[in-house]
Amino acid sequence: MATVGGSPDTRPLTRPELRAWRGMLRSNAALAKALDGRLEAAHGLQLSSYEVLMYLADAEDERMRMCDLASSILLSRSGLTRLVDRLQREGLLERVACSDDARGAFAKLTPAGRQKLRAATATHLEGVRAMFLDLFTPEELDRLGDAWDRVLDHAGWGCCK
């Protein structure tokens, strides 16, 4: 029926394959849009802004190099520059010069930023749990985690990005 020949698998996706693949795309889109919308509505904060504040809060001394921050939140360096610009303008973080590398710059959380993050975190975590985590048992979450590790590892993102 299908094209015969041993080339790298190009058959159309089977139903289960389609379900697994397209479901992931749609779920991700739905979750991202919903969570971003909630955060925006409740605190006037973009999801990407939230991620910046969150990584900063987790970092030592609440500060990170622009470069590391960019790769943490999966953004280009130029994109991060502008994002940090906006957050600085809102007073949620500040730029701090780097003493041992005059090229470098830190983004550092301000008290206002810390407070904003606390409020936003409640909203965000509540959403993540309600729309995602709570739908699965701990065992299922582990399975999912394994799956992602497999994907990221195979894509070469576990190590170099």
DSSP 74: T
Contact flag: residue 76 with its own copies (CB under 8 A): no
Q: How many CB atoms lie within 10 A of CB 68?
A: 14
Residue 19 touches which of DNA, its own copies, none (CB < 5 to 8 A by kind)?
its own copies
Nearest to 77 by CA among 67, 86, 91, 64: 67
Return d(Cα 115, Cα 92) in angstroms, integer. 9
The contact mask relative to its own copies for 3-42 (x = CB under 8 A, - = no) is -----xxxxxx--xx-xxx-xxxxxxxxx--x--------
Contact 98/65 with Cβ under 8 angstroms? yes
Residue 141: name its binding partner from DNA, its own copies, none (Cβ under 5 to 8 Å by kind): its own copies
User: 19 or 82, CB closer to its own copies?
Assistant: 19
How far is CA 5 from its chain centroid?
Answer: 41
- Nearer Cβ to its own copies (82/143): 143
Q: Is 46 exposed, middle or buried (0-12, 13-18, 19+ CB in 10 A)?
A: middle
Contacting range for its own copies; rule: CB under 8 A; set: 81-89, 96-104, 105-113, 128-136: 128-136
Maximum distance among all alpha carbons in the chain?
68
155 binds its own copies per the rule CB under 8 A: yes
Q: Which residues bind its own copies (CB under 8 A)?
A: 8-13, 16-17, 19-21, 23-31, 34, 74, 121-122, 125-126, 128-136, 138, 140-145, 147-152, 154-155, 157, 161
Q: Which residues bind DNA (CB under 7 A)?
A: 46, 48, 65-67, 70, 74-86, 95, 98, 101-106
